[in-house]
Structure 1
């Protein structure tokens, strides 16, 4: 056992995913916060950019969705008709009659 060090392949492209025209050193190492020798070992580098305006729009949308009152699953007339239909189907029409005091 042991540790096998990784090295940069000799024919490695500087572009992410083989795309032409995109340099792997497009951003300076000070923006990324990693030194050049270490940075060159990565195949992909993703940077996340904050946009206050976009963040505000997304936050407003999420809050509106969370605070909105959902519509009822059935309108009142539909619910009334459904309950009447259930009662008609479940009410026994044949069989022994029970006295009202039971």
Structure 2
């Protein structure tokens, strides 16, 4: 099992929290939080518990089995975050591409 820092970023963005806001809500130093979200440091269990509580996600959301290359999953998650920020016209143009990438991740 492995912590997925891309899912952390996705959950934070969906809540509309900045890195600074997330650090404040969890009581984690902003630089330490940034390093966790960037995958540059290992996550401590007590930090994971705080993060999951603030983001209202189960612990299992952030931890996953390595069934396929993590890089591909991470890239799809990044694309979904970016897609959510586009206007409706742009979303329509990219949604088919995202769906095809997601189907690759599921198989």
Bin of the TM-score, shorter chain as denominator length: under 0.3
Normalising by the residue count of structure 1, what TM-score does the alignment of the two structures yield?
A: 0.19
Which structure has greater helix proportion? 2
